[in-house]
Every structure is written in C-alpha cells, then in structure tokens.
C-alpha cells in the first residue's frame, strides 16, 4: 500500500496535490521500455499513422499544465522516433491533438444507441495485396438477384476490416486446454485381446536407471504408431522399440520368446530365460506423423537417452 499527502499513482495517472487543487500527470513504471508498435511492422498503414495522434491526444487529455504537457509530448516524440515513425507524422499528430481544448477532450462520449447496420468485410492483412473489397463490390449485382440478399446489401454498409496475420508467437505456441490433463496407459478391456495381460497401466514409466518419463498421449493395447518399453519382470532390464501397431508387435514378441528359431532381438532370449517366458509392455510415446523413418529416429533418441541394457540390436 502506498500513502502520501502530496502525490500518488493511480492506474496510468500520477495524481498531484497542489495546495487546494489536484492536477494529473502520466504515470509509468520504471520498467516500462515504451516499446510501442514499430512503424515497420506488418500492420495496416492507417493504424500506424493514427498512433502518434492518439497517444498525443491521451497526453493532452491527462495533463492540464502546459509546461509539463509539452515535456511529455517531447518524450513521446523521442519514443516514437526510436520506433521508426517519420518525424513529420509525429509532429502532425501532436499539432492536431494540441488544437483540441482540454474541456472538449475530457467530455464523456455518448454511445450511439441507433441500430448499426455495418457489415465487416474481413480479410487477413498483407501489404502486398490490393484492396479486394473494391473488387468484391463489382459482384454485388449478383447478390441483388436474390430478394433476401438484395435487402441485406442495400440496407447495410460494407466496412473494410483487416485481421492480423499470424505472428511468430501464434505460429510457435498453442493455447490448448484439456479437461483430461493426465495422459494414461490402460488395457483395452477386450476379452479377446492377447496384449492386456502383458501391458502395464499408469501415466509414467520408471526405467531401471531411475529415470522417469511421462506418457505424451492416452494409449492402450490397440494404439498405433508409437515407441514402447518392454521390461523383464524378474530383473527389471528394459528394451525400447518402435511399432506401427502395439498388439501386433506384442504378438511377435510372444512368438519369439516361445520359438528360438524366429528370434531376432536379444530381449526375446532374455525374456525366455530370465523372465520365464514373461515380459511387461508399456507404450510411452505416441508419434503424430505416420512415418517409419521418423519413428525409428525417435526410437534411437530414446535408446541413447535411457540406455536400456536390452538394446534394439541382434
């Protein structure tokens, strides 16, 4: 809590008591770097042209003292020049704002309660594209051939609107919220399934090395295109493999454990001798692209990361 008999910040205002009167100034935190929209950024030109005027108008509205107002406008000019705004554009915006009396600036705006018949024509902004609305208007006579659409077109004003193109932040991040936050491995529950007795359930796997890995998707016996871990129930040694279909891969493991003539991995012999013909399977990484080369590369990554003793080699 801040308390003072002289001045106090409130939102973006700095309220100052001068005798029996109160005056206001701009308030910004010490960490404010004034990184306003860069004039070179990919935004409609009218948006960038209006920024100097609107920011100057804000200063003229808040600060009644002419000397202090002039100082803040000079600071604004410095900030905008640093953001590559043309100096003449800044000066024009400041001059337009200074012409308006402060009494007019501080008037409460009355909302227009009349019915708004504006229809926005929204396109993604690209400075290399021409104004497509003018082209679209040439085809309005086609819409007027319909009685319903004719009423819409004639009674409405089409407003040219722009949406921002995806920036790096939007391209690289996703706001994805799920009610089921914990991903889980479970048996499919099919009475005919030959994998259920071999699969382990849970939301993570602990390798013999002590490293723990959370699963990245909800998986079961019938899941496809994934990386899995097979573990000896006796000694806890691990094997990491990749497969297109988990239940088919478990069926192959079972066959190789039982029949030495078809074995092609060291884990089959180990499961037969040390595990007594038993093993446990835990799928832990779902691939989102159905590509065997990518899946094998991901398998190699996990083998190097967890270094299982039952390596995926003969």
Helix (H, G, I), strand (E, B) or coil at 96: helix
Least confident segment among 118-132, 167-181, 255-269: 167-181
Least confident segment among 23-32, 143-152, 170-179: 170-179
| The two three-digit tokens of residue 29, written as one number | 């935190």
Q: Quote the CA–CA distance of 237 and 267 in Å, as a whole number.
A: 9
Under DSSP, the state recorded for 243 is E
Residue count of the chain: 314
Domain borders along the chain are 7-105, 118-165, 204-306
Q: Are strands 21-26 and 118-124 parallel, antiparallel or unpaired?
A: unpaired
**What confidence score (pLDDT) does residue 177 get?**
61
- Give the pLDDT confidence of 296-310 residue by residue, as tens digits: 999 999 999 998 988
Q: Are strands 224-231 and 280-286 parallel, antiparallel or unpaired?
A: antiparallel
pLDDT-based confidence at residue 180 (cuts at 50, 70, 90): low
250 with 257: CB under 8 angstroms?
no
**What confidence score (pLDDT) does residue 44 get?**
86
**What confidence score (pLDDT) does residue 314 get?**
40
Please say if the pLDDT value at position 216 is more than 70. Answer: yes
pLDDT-based confidence at residue 186 (cuts at 50, 70, 90): very high
**What confidence score (pLDDT) does residue 312 get?**
52
Residue 107 phi, psi (nearest 5): -70, 145
Q: Quote the CA–CA distance of 150 and 142 in Å, as a whole number.
A: 9
221 membership: H or E segment, kind and range: none
Q: Quote the CA–CA distance of 137 and 131 in Å, as a whole number.
A: 11
The 10 Å CB-count burial string (b at 16+, else e) for 67-90 is ebbeebbeebbeebeebebeeebb
Sign of CA dihedral 297, 201, 244, 194: positive
- Give the pLDDT confidence of 242-266 residue by residue, as tens digits: 999 999 999 999 999 999 888 877 8
pLDDT-based confidence at residue 52 (cuts at 50, 70, 90): very high
pLDDT-based confidence at residue 179 (cuts at 50, 70, 90): low
CATH class as words, domain 204-306: alpha beta
Note the pTM of the prediction, 2 decimals.
0.50
| The two three-digit tokens of residue 173, written as one number | 């991040």
242 membership: H or E segment, kind and range: strand 238-245
Task: List CB contacts of 158: < 8 A, sequence separation 6 or more.
Answer: 118, 119, 121, 133, 137
80 membership: H or E segment, kind and range: helix 66-82
Q: Quote the CA–CA distance of 253 and 230 in Å, as a whole number.
A: 9
């Amino acid at each position: 809590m801040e308390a003072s008999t002289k001045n106090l910040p409130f939102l973006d205002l700095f309220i100052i008591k001068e005798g029996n009167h109160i005056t206001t100034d701009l308030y910004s935190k010490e960490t404010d770097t004034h990184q306003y929209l860069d004039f070179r950024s990919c935004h409609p030109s009218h948006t960038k042209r209006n920024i100097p005027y609107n920011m100057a108008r804000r200063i003229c509205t808040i600060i009644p003292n002419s000397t202090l107002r002039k100082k803040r406008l000079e600071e604004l000019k410095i900030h905008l020049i640093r953001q590559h705004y043309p100096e003449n554009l800044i000066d024009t915006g400041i001059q337009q704002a200074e012409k308006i009396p402060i009494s007019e600036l501080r008037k409460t705006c009355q909302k227009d309660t009349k019915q708004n018949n504006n229809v926005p024509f929204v396109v993604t902004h690209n400075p290399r594209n021409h104004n497509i609305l003018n082209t679209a208007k040439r085809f309005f006579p086609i819409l007027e051939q319909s009685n319903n659409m004719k009423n819409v077109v004639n009674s409405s004003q089409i407003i040219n609107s722009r949406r921002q193109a995806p920036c790096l932040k939007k391209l690289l991040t996703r706001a994805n919220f799920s009610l089921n936050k914990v991903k889980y491995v479970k048996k499919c529950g099919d009475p005919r399934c030959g994998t259920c007795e071999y699969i382990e359930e849970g939301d993570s796997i602990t390798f013999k090395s002590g490293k723990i890995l959370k699963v990245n998707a909800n998986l079961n016996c019938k899941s496809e295109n994934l990386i899995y871990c097979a573990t000896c129930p006796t000694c806890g040694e691990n094997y990491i493999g990749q497969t297109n279909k988990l239940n088919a891969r478990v069926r192959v493991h079972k066959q190789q454990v039982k029949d030495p003539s078809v074995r092609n991995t060291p884990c089959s012999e180990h499961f037969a001798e040390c595990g007594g013909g038993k093993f446990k399977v835990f799928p832990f990484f779902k691939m989102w692209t159905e590509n065997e080369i990518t899946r094998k590369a991901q398998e190699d990554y996990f083998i190097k990361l967890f270094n299982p003793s039952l390596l995926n080699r003969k």
